[in-house]
Amino acid sequence: MKPLIFSTRNTNKIVEVSAKLGGWPLSSLNDIGCDADIEETSETLEGNARLKAHYIWDQYKQDVFADDTGLEISALNGEPGVRSARYAGQGRNADDNMNLVLQKLETVFDRRARFRTAICLILNGREYMFEGIVEGHIAREKRGMTGFGYDPIFIPEGNSRSFAQMSIEEKNYISHRGRALQAMKDHLRFVD
Contact positions vs ligand IMP (CB under 6 A): 10, 67-69, 84-85, 94, 97, 147-151, 163, 177
* Closer Cβ to ligand IMP, 63 or 68, answer by number: 68
| Side-chain-side CA neighbours of residue 91 (13 Å) | 0
Nearer to ligand IMP, 4 or 20 (CB): 20
Q: How many CB atoms lie within 10 A of CB 27?
A: 18
Q: Which residue is nearest to ligand IMP (CB)?
A: 149
- In angstroms, what is the minimal distance from the CB of 114 to ligand IMP? 12
Q: Which of 37, 68, 110, 186 is catalytic?
A: 68
Closest distance of CB 183 from ligand IMP, Å: 16
What b/e readout covers 106-131, taking b as 16+ CB neighbours within 10 angstroms?
eeeeebebbbbbbbbbbbeeeebebe
**Could you tell me the smallest distance in angstroms from the CB atom of residue 94 to ligand IMP?**
6
DSSP secondary structure letter of residue 109: S
Active site residue 68: yes
Of 179, 46, 64, give the one whose Cα is nearest residue 118: 46
In the complex with ligand IMP, the residue whose CB is nearer, 68 or 189, is: 68
Do the Cβ atoms of 152 and 164 come closer than 8 Å?
yes
Q: Catalytic residue numbers?
A: 68
